[in-house]
């Protein structure tokens, strides 16, 4: 195989675009048919496919800001429930199953209405002729019967008929009356002005599956990197439905954020109210003690008497009051931490002056909210929940440790202030003990009053923030649609259909050529080897009556043999110098390649040219010459001559009924030892005797690859014609022919390509000049009849 490739001509090593295109353009009708069928299929697809439209909306996600800067009023953390710095988290919420579940449930998208159309069913969205109200819904049965469909019909008398399209059971009732559908009880009421309708299909789908479908169809697109502008895109066959879904998604998203904010505000309000109740009781106790102290000691205006000393100690008292307030807040927060669970939110920004503690409380609340959101659609085993729980536990420990550290620091400061107060107190030893005790009572009263007023202020701030809530998602453009069909696109479908229609024939032809190992045309042989010339191409014969040509035949078959003879004359002139008969051996690799057919028509063509021709049937094992001449199969022939003692070969030669210039020496009887007969010296003597009596001797031999008979005879031949049948002979068999030529077994060998389709012929049909049967002129008819007379 490699040797043949080495001898390939230039056309075998260079890409020829014209040649490659020719392989496909000869099947142009396949491409036309494929494109036509594919485009028609595309048109039907456009006709019967439900068009899909697009709706779009734009929103801005509010960013988180801090209200603590430059303000004495701490932020309660309410706005942080509506604002965020994590845009990916908000996109995840917009795409969540829980949010889409609420959208489908709010819009009743799991219940759809269709009307029968001429081409396809059309969904009725907000245009159905009746209203359907669900009175009772069984969630368990809905999962089992959630895929049911019913055909609804209403006649003029108000009788409503519902037909289950699964089992074709029918329910008859009056319009406006409850109807039990196994999984739900519904009421169907015609709209005003509607007296009857028919062929309305009501489809009840599983809510979860519908939510999953719309969740997959919702596209969340960030305007650009780093931007908090988000575009929401929804595709649906009904434009109004797509718009409603997007608007409802935005509504449910904002409502979810408000619920989170309200949860923080509610926990903060509960904490403040609890502390107010405690402080109020303590304040009442202090005031009652003050009153009892004055009554028991008959005191009136102690302040005037101790004004000078109070001024000296006032600064320390204010500091001690501030520290005491901070210690009370820290103790209250520590008490709340010891009794609260990890799922409860901590009061945010109660006035603790330590910013690190406030920051830890804010981070803790954010993690609790995030964990609670995920838990609505997940379980405790979710890795994200476990991770957040670990972070919450760690943060809670950090907060506890920070508060304890802060309390220790405040107590140290308190002790220092007390020491200073005692230093000043030594200077007022002269003040009655009642004054000192009274000051202690007033100090306790002022601390409780300050804390009480502070908590009242925070409660009002909490109520005010709750009343003026702003949405997290601000709508830039509400849901809208341009009304253009998104899918299927007519131009794309038609173009795709056309490309597909052209690609399918191309791929079929390409694959067929790729896996085809048969010799099809002249170039297949030329690409394999240039050592052996192709002297002729014989067209494919469609009918048996065309197997034999006649003298005045002008068909492509006859012209191909005339063309063959012309080529043989040049080949023989170069190789044969004597004036004796030219001996031409016709063979092939295997049986069925047309060697007997070629030998017979070659002999006839030479005989029509007034040459004396002898056709020898040398295939002693499987003779085929008999089918071309009547009563010839039983006559004696070559095998009988070689096996007998008769030396006169002319006794075994018969006249052909097809032409007087053609003689035939048949194969004769099938011998048991064909190879031994052909090796006898009598065969060489026979060819010597026949050379002087004929111009051409055509030898029809056996296939070379199956038996050795041909290799025995070919030494007597001047020229070997090797038949290769188009569409029948494997390309691999050509290697066997080339090997025989190189070894010298068949030196003067030439190819004939047989049974070539007319589209693959190297002449005639290729250039638009074909041969056909033509009416004979008067001169041709006379010549024909004269030749018949001469033969007779």
500 and 531 both lie in a single domain? no
DSSP state, residue 14:
S
Out of 286-290, 369-373, 397-401, 478-482, least confident range: 286-290
Q: Is residue 502 domain-shared with residue 539, that is, in the same domain?
A: no
Same domain, 318 and 424: yes
Together in a domain, 500 and 629: no
Residue where a domain stops, chosen among 251, 274, 296: 251
**In a domain? residue 728:** yes
List helix spans (H) across 298-354.
302-305, 307-339
pLDDT of residue 351 exceeding 60, the answer is yes
Tokens linked to 728: 């029948």
Is the pLDDT assigned to residue 173 strictly greater than 70?
Answer: yes
Residue 781 maps to a domain: yes
Q: Tell me if 458 is assigned to some domain.
A: yes
Per mean pLDDT, which of 268-277, 465-474, 498-507 is the most reliable?
Answer: 498-507
Query: What are the backbone angles phi and psi of residue 277, rounded to the nearest 5°?
Result: -65, -40
Distance, first Cα to last Cα, the chain: 54
Mean pLDDT calculated for residue range 658-675: 89
Confidence at residue 613, expressed as pLDDT on a 0 to 100 scale: 93
Query: Among 50-59, 289-298, 618-627, which stretch is predicted with the lowest mean pLDDT?
Result: 289-298
Last residue of a domain, one of 474, 499, 531: 474
Q: Based on the fold, state whether residues 442 and 419 are members of the same structural domain.
A: yes
User: Quick one: three-class SS letters along 625-674?
Assistant: HHHHCCCCCCCCCHHHHHHCCCCCHHHHCEECCCCCCEEEECCCCCCCCH
Q: Which of 198, 228, 251 is the last residue of a domain?
A: 251
| 288/297 Cα distance (integer angstroms) | 14
Q: What separation in angstroms does the CA of 141 have from each of 152, 183, 187, 211, 294?
A: 21, 5, 18, 18, 76
Query: Phi/psi at 707 (nearest 5 deg)?
Result: -140, 170
Number of domains making up the chain: 4
Query: How many Å apart are CA 643 and CA 664, to the nearest integer?
Result: 18
Closest CA to 694 of 632, 617, 603, 627: 603
Task: Give the tens place of pLDDT for each residue, 298-334.
Answer: 555 566 556 666 666 677 777 788 888 888 888 888 8
Q: pLDDT tens digit string along 431-479?
A: 556 666 777 777 777 887 788 788 888 777 777 766 656 677 778 878 8
Find, among 530, 628, 550, 594, the residue nearest to 753 by Cα. 594
Q: Are residues 558 and 503 in the same domain?
A: no
Q: Is 135 helix (H, G, I), strand (E, B) or coil?
A: strand
The answer to the question of residue 482 being in a domain is: no
CATH of the domain at 652: 3.40.50.300
Structural domain boundaries, residue 107: 54-251
pLDDT at res. 752: 92
Same domain? For 624 and 659 the reply is yes
pTM here is: 0.54
Q: Which residue has the higher pLDDT, 280 or 9?
A: 280
**Is the same domain home to 559 and 696?**
yes
Asked if residue 483 belongs to a domain, the reply is no
Nearest-CA neighbor of 479 among 661, 290, 245?
Answer: 245
Residue 481, class by beta-carbon neighbours within 10 Å (0-12 exposed, 13-18 middle, 19+ buried)?
middle
296 belongs to a structural domain: yes
Would you say residue 480 lies in a domain?
A: no
634: phi then psi, degrees, rounded to nearest 5? -95, 0
Q: Give the per-residue pLDDT at 616.
A: 92
724 closest CA partner among 528, 511, 583: 528
For residue 303, what are the CA distances in angstroms to 300, 307, 429, 520? 9, 6, 16, 127
Q: With contact defined as beta carbons under 8 Å apart, do 399 and 357 qualify? A: yes
pLDDT above 90 covers a percentage of the chain that reads 9
Tell me if 776 sits within 8 A of 784, measured CB to CB.
yes
**68 pLDDT exceeds 60?**
no
Q: Is the same domain home to 636 and 741?
A: yes
In the 8-state DSSP scheme, what is residue 532? S
List, in sequence order, every residue forming a beta bridge with 479; answer none if it has no partner: none
134-142 LR contacts (CB < 8 Å, sep 24+) = 134/184, 134/185, 134/186, 135/178, 135/184, 135/185, 135/186, 135/187, 136/184, 136/185, 137/183, 137/184, 137/185, 138/183, 138/184, 141/182, 141/183, 141/184, 142/183, 142/184, 142/204, 142/206, 142/207
- Decide: 528 and 4 in contact? Cβ < 8 Å: yes
pLDDT for 767 beyond 60: no
Residue pair 650/665 in contact by the 8 Å Cβ criterion: no
Residues 245 and 267 in one domain: no
Q: In this model, does residue 69 exceed pLDDT 70?
A: no
Nearest to 499 by CA among 18, 31, 29: 31
Clarify whether residues 236 and 275 are in a common domain.
no
Check whether 537 has a pLDDT greater than 70.
yes
Q: Tell me which residue has tokens 């066959």.
A: 237
Residues 126 and 271 occupy one common structural domain: no
Rounded Cα gap, residues 335 and 347, in angstroms: 12
Among 650, 664, 674, 669, smallest CA distance to 697 is for: 664
Mean pLDDT score across all residues of the chain: 79
Asked if residue 324 belongs to a domain, the reply is yes
């Amino acid at each position: 195989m490699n040797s043949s490739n080495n001898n390939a001509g230039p056309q075998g090593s260079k890409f020829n675009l014209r040649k490659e295109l020719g392989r496909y353009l000869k099947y142009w009708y396949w491409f036309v048919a494929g494109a036509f069928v594919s485009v028609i299929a595309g048109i039907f697809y456009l006709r019967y496919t439900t068009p899909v439209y697009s709706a779009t909306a734009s929103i801005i996600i509010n960013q988180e800001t801090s209200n603590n800067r430059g303000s004495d009023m701490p932020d309660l953390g309410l706005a942080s429930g509506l604002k965020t710095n994590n845009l990916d988290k908000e996109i995840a919420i917009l795409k969540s199953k829980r949010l889409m579940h609420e959208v489908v449930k709010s819009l009743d998208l799991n219940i759809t209405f269709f009307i029968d159309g001429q081409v396809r069913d059309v969904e009725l969205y907000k245009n159905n002729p009746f209203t359907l109200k669900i009175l009772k819904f069984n969630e368990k049965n809905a999962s089992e019967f959630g895929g049911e469909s019913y055909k609804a019909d209403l006649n003029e008398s108000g009788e409503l008929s519902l037909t289950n399209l699964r089992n074709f059971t029918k329910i008859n009732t009056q319009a406006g009356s409850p109807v039990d559908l196994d999984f739900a009880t519904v009421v169907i009421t015609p709209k005003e002005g509607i007296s009857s309708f028919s062929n309305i299909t009501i489809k009840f789908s599983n809510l979860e599956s519908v939510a999953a479908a719309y969740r997959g169809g919702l596209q969340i697109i960030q305007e650009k990197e780093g931007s908090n502008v988000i575009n929401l895109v929804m595709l649906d066959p009904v434009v109004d439905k797509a718009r409603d879904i997007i608007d409802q998604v935005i509504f449910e998203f904002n409502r979810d954020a408000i619920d989170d904010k309200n949860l923080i505000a509610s926990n903060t309000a509960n904490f403040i109210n609890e502390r107010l109740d405690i402080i109020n009781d303590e304040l009442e106790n202090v005031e009652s003690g003050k009153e009892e102290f004055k009554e028991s000691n008959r005191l009136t205006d102690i302040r005037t008497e101790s004004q000078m000393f109070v001024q000296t100690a006032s600064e320390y008292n204010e500091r001690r009051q501030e520290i005491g307030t901070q210690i009370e807040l820290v103790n209250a927060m520590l008490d709340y931490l010891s009794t609260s669970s990890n799922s409860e939110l901590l009061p945010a920004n109660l006035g603790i002056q330590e910013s690190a503690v406030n920051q830890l409380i804010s981070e803790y609340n954010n993690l609790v909210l995030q964990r609670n959101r995920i838990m609505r659609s997940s379980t405790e085993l979710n890795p994200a929940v476990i991770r957040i729980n670990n972070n919450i536990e760690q943060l809670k420990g950090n907060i506890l440790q920070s508060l304890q550290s802060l309390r220790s620091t405040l107590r140290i400061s308190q002790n220092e202030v007390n020491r200073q107060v005692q230093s000043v107190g030594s200077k007022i030893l002269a003040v009655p003990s009642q004054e000192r005790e009274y000051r202690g009572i007033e100090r306790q009263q002022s601390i409780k009053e300050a804390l009480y007023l502070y908590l009242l202020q925070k409660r009002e701030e909490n109520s005010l923030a709750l009343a003026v809530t702003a949405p997290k998602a601000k709508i830039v453009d509400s849901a809208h649609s341009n009304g253009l069909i998104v899918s299927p696109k007519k131009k794309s479908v038609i173009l795709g259909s056309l490309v597909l229609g052209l690609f399918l024939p191309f791929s079929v032809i390409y694959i067929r050529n790729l896996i085809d190992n048969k010799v099809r045309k002249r170039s297949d042989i030329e690409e394999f080897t240039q050592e052996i010339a192709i002297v002729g191409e014989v067209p494919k014969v469609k009918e048996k009556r065309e197997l034999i040509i006649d003298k005045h035949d002008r068909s492509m078959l006859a012209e191909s043999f005339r063309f063959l003879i012309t080529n043989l004359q040049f080949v023989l002139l170069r190789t044969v110098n004597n004036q004796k008969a030219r001996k031409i051996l016709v063979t092939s690799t295997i049986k069925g390649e047309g060697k007997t057919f070629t030998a017979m028509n070659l002999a006839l063509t030479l005989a029509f040219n007034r040459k004396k021709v002898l056709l020898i049937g040398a295939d002693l094992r499987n003779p085929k010459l008999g089918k071309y001449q009547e009563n010839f199969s039983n006559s004696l022939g070559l095998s009988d001559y070689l096996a007998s003692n008769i030396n006169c070969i002319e006794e075994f030669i018969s006249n052909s009924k097809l032409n007087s210039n053609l003689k035939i020496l048949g194969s004769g009887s099938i011998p048991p030892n064909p190879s031994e007969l052909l090796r006898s010296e009598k065969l060489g003597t026979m060819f010597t005797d026949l050379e002087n009596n004929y111009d051409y001797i055509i030898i029809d031999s056996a296939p070379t690859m199956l038996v050795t008979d041909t290799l025995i005879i070919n030494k007597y031949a001047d020229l070997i014609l090797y038949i290769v049948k188009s569409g029948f002979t494997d390309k691999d068999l050509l290697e066997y022919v080339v090997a025989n030529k190189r070894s010298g077994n068949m030196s003067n060998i030439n190819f004939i390509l047989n049974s070539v389709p007319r589209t693959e012929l190297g002449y005639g049909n290729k250039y638009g000049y074909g041969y056909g049967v033509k009416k004979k002129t008067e001169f041709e008819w006379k010549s024909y009849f004269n030749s018949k007379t001469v033969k007779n």
